């Protein structure tokens, strides 16, 4: 009986250690500033952020826009400002509402073609 209790205790301690290790990794990632900088326009990054949010490709669609915008701000060392207002401006565009996404599609297709040659 004591042996069984010891096994349960050791398993609990192992889980605690694993959790602490994961927490330390996450904290160290949060503390390190990113070496990446967004060199496109803020509007382009906001368009990309809303596209990813709308696709549901992050956290199975459960991440909210504020989380995504905050993550991109940290990742790319940029202040997106009032991204809600910028989204309204993107929606009001007379030309393509997905100008940056269209550009991304175009350059990726061009890269595919160049790789095939």
Q: What is the pLDDT of residues 12-35, one digit of tens each?
A: 888 887 777 766 666 665 566 778
Q: Which 8-state DSSP code applies to residue 36?
A: -
Q: Kindly state whether residues 59 and 18 are assigned to the same domain.
A: no
| pLDDT, the chain, mean | 89
* Cα separations in angstroms, 78 against 41, 59, 74: 10, 23, 7
In this predicted structure, what is the pLDDT of residue 103?
97
Together in a domain, 22 and 75 = no
Residues 99 and 86 both lie in one domain? yes
Across the range 34-51, mean pLDDT stands at: 94
pTM, whole model, 2 decimals? 0.71
- 19/114: higher pLDDT: 114
Same domain, 28 and 48: no
Number of structural domains in the chain: 2
pLDDT in tens, 69-95: 999 998 899 999 999 999 999 999 999
Say how many C-beta atoms besides its own lie within 10 A of residue 46's C-beta.
Answer: 24
Domain that holds residue 111: 36-116
Same domain, 46 and 15: no
Q: What average pLDDT does this structure show over 48-60? A: 95
Provide the pLDDT for residue 16: 80
27 and 56 part of one domain: no
């Amino acid at each position: 009986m004591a042996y069984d209790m010891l096994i349960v205790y050791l398993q609990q301690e192992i889980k605690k250690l694993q959790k602490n290790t994961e927490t330390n990794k996450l904290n160290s990632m949060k503390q390190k500033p990113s070496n990446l900088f967004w060199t496109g326009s803020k509007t382009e990054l906001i368009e990309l952020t809303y596209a990813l949010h709308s696709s549901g490709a992050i956290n199975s669609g459960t991440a909210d826009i504020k989380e995504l915008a905050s993550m991109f701000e940290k990742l790319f060392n940029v202040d997106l400002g009032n991204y809600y207002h910028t989204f309204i401006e993107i929606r009001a565009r007379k030309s393509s509402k997905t100008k940056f996404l269209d550009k991304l599609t175009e350059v990726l297709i061009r890269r595919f073609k160049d790789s095939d040659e």
